[in-house]
Amino acid sequence: MQAEEKFTDATWPAAPEKATLEGKNKYLGFWLFLGGETVLFASLFATYLALKDKVPNADHALAKDIFELPLTFITTVILLTSSLTSVYAMYHMKNNDFKKMQAWLLITVLLGAAFLGLEVYEFNHYVHEFHHTFTSSAFGSAFYTLVGFHGGHVAFGLVWIISLMVRNAKRGLNLYNAPKFYIASLYWHFIDVVWVFIFTVVYLMGMVG
């Protein structure tokens, strides 16, 4: 099968992301990378849990003082929804419908950007209302490293997906770029996987005390 070959709906493979050897290798390689990412985030979680509420004196705000349920809930729902919209994008990719795939990817990107915007607002709020900064306490350092690293992953994902959309806008779908789109969507799901633990371990458990 030629990677750049033009396909009709009937000849388009059922699993275009794994129809070429290059696609298969990318798929496996990317999952190995995710195994490494799991270790990376787990060690950041470990650091956060060890340093949670470790502040130099009683003037510093603790986790239960700064986190708020409504904002966390909104960001969680936004990121969770963006995970579903990228599933829709891959559904249309498998049906060889390039335009619909691009449209759903655009929605995914917009939701991701909304999430990032809220996170910037949240960090800004902590810094100005509670003087909770990266250098104010060990708690602050661990918090901003963990949540900020996740935010950095979201930002990278946005750049990645937008680049793919722009680069392939006039090209359409083929077996060369289908695995690229598919892997970007896997990465997006992984960001959501990490967020599920962040909202549970950092925010919800932080509020429980």
Partner 1 sequence: MANNQSNSANPNVDLKYRRKKNAEEMKHQVVTFTMMIFFTLIAFLAVAYDGFSHWFIRPFILLLAVVQVAFQLYYFMHMKHKGHNTIALFLFSGLAVGLATVLVFMTIVWL
Q: Which residues form the interface with partner 1 (CB under 8 A)?
A: 9-15, 18-19, 28, 31-32, 34-39, 41-43, 45-47, 49-51, 54, 69, 72-73, 76-77, 80-81, 83-84, 87-88, 91, 94-95, 138, 186, 189-190, 192-193, 196-197, 199-201, 204-205, 207-209
Task: Report the residue number, 74 or 169, with the smaller CB distance to partner 1.
Answer: 74
Q: Which two tokens stand for residue 18?
A: 């794994």
> What does the alpha-carbon distance between residue 55 and residue 61 come to, in Å, rounded to a whole number?
8
CA triple 89-93-37, angle to 5 deg: 60
Beta strand extents in 94-187 (DSSP E only): none
Least spacing, CB of residue 36 vs partner 1, in Å: 6
Q: Which lies closer to partner 1 via its Cβ, residue 86 or residue 102?
A: 86
Here the tokens at position 123 are 């960090």
Contact 140, 112 (CB under 8 A): no
Which is nearer to partner 1, 69 or 159 (by Cβ)? 69
Cβ-based nearer residue to partner 1, 56 or 167: 56
Please give the structure tokens belonging to residue 45: 């979680």
